[in-house]
Amino acid sequence: MADAAERDAMRRALELARRGPRGVNPQVGALILSPTGDVLAEGWHRGAGTAHAEVDALSRLAPDAARGATAVVTLEPCNHTGRTGPCAVALLEAGVSRVVYALDDPTAVASGGAERLRAGGAAVEAGVLADEAHDLLDSWLTVQQLGRPFVTVKWAQSLDGRAAADDGTSQWITGPAARADVHRRRAEADAIAVGTGTLLGDDPSLTARYDDGSLYESQPAPVVIGRSAVPADAAVRRHPRPLSIFPTHDLAAILAELRAAGAHRVFVEGGPTLASAFLAAGLTDELLVYVAPVLLGGRRLALGDIGVGTIASARRLSVTSLDTLGDDLLVVASPRNGDH
């Protein structure tokens, strides 16, 4: 059972982990404690190719200073040689006699560190402050489970299911409170995707902005999907982050590239064609539907063909939340198991 000093050290390790970048590798923090519970060293992972948190902490100690010490780590020490060696071995070689960690490593390539530590004679305790660690690594863990980024598909519609009036105008169906909520959610994403149809029709900037027009500090990377050329003067080319253009309809391949670039959460905001394509491909994990109390009628439906030919094939959803935003309603829903 972890004692009070080890639990306090885990809280500190979680704070340190947040200093690391969110990307392909998990955010991890580590502390080395003396046998009496004093902090000997701290460390965290600073990104791909850099020392892992445990090794970062050990590097701050003199030789043999960690002998008999306890390592407190937010994620199971890895048992893998990649750009760096296995942390489980590094801890054993340093003489660490006890390892306390929060979460098991879910990846097949890196897991097994706890078993290796035990085989090397170290005492190991798992699950300390696991809920807090899970909150920290939620998006990274989701990517490991899905094998791709978590995809949110968003659209705004009238009460009768239209995304625009018959002449194509759509600004604005929803009110300022709903639009502010969209920008807040954009800032939480790693990438924001739009189709070339919407790009050419609306010329969106794809930035996350406050009500006064200023930019959020955190910005999603802009992504354009489709074969039409992006104009040289398009607003998205002035985005503070580099623009990625995918002249393909292979959504799975696009998500694989975005994952390789470190994207955990992709926000799809690209109009009916792109939204329908993600849904038809079963590549949607969350739906955000902003419904305005207005009627438009006409042909401009919020969704096109998603592969449902009969009611028996309907995509069934579970509603996560219903929120009122000014005059508008936000429905947050996710596919039921098997209905991706």
pLDDT tens digit string along 182-223? 999 999 999 999 999 889 888 999 999 999 999 999 999 999
- The CA-atom distances, in angstroms, between 271 and each of 7, 202, 277, 280, 306 are 47, 10, 10, 14, 14
Last residue of a domain, one of 143, 158, 189: 143
Q: For residue 297, how far is the Cα from the chain centroid? A: 36
**Per residue in 43-77, pLDDT tens?**
999 987 889 999 999 999 998 899 999 999 999 99
> Is 15 an active-site residue?
no
pLDDT at residue 142, rounded to an integer: 86
pLDDT at residue 244, rounded to an integer: 96
Residues 6 or more apart in contact with residue 56 via CB below 8 angstroms? 30, 43, 44, 45, 46, 50
Q: What's the pTM?
A: 0.80
174 falls within a domain = yes
Any idea which of 163-167, 203-207, 290-294 has the lowest mean pLDDT?
A: 163-167
In this predicted structure, the answer to whether residue 279 has a pLDDT above a threshold of 70 is: yes
Last residue of a domain, one of 76, 109, 143: 143
Residues 135 and 155 reside in one and the same domain? no
Percent of the chain at pLDDT exceeding 70: 97
pLDDT at residue 107, rounded to an integer: 83
Last residue of a domain, one of 143, 166, 181: 143
pLDDT at residue 139, rounded to an integer: 83
What number is the average pLDDT over the span 2-15?
93
How many domains are there within the chain?
Answer: 2
**Per residue in 88-144, pLDDT tens?**
999 999 999 999 999 999 887 767 899 999 999 999 999 999 999 998 998 889 888
pLDDT at residue 17, rounded to an integer: 95
340 falls within a domain = no
Q: In one letter, which amino acid is 166?
A: D
Q: How many CA atoms lie within 13 A of 300 on its CB side?
A: 20
Tell me which residue of 190, 200, 202 sits closest to 155, measured CA to CA.
202
Residues 164 and 76 reside in one and the same domain? no
**Per residue in 225-238, pLDDT tens?**
999 999 999 999 99
259 lies in which domain range?
Answer: 148-335
| Average pLDDT score, the chain | 91
Report residue 305's pLDDT band, with 50, 70 and 90 as the boundaries: confident
pLDDT at residue 258, rounded to an integer: 95
294 falls within a domain = yes
CATH of the domain at 99: 3.40.140.10
Q: Which of 6, 15, 42, 54 is catalytic?
A: 54
Report residue 83's pLDDT band, with 50, 70 and 90 as the boundaries: low
In this predicted structure, the answer to whether residue 323 has a pLDDT above a threshold of 80 is: yes
Residues 37 and 110 reside in one and the same domain? yes
Q: How many CA atoms lie within 13 A of 40 on its CB side?
A: 25
In this predicted structure, the answer to whether residue 338 has a pLDDT above a threshold of 60 is: no
pLDDT at residue 47, rounded to an integer: 84
pLDDT at residue 340, rounded to an integer: 57
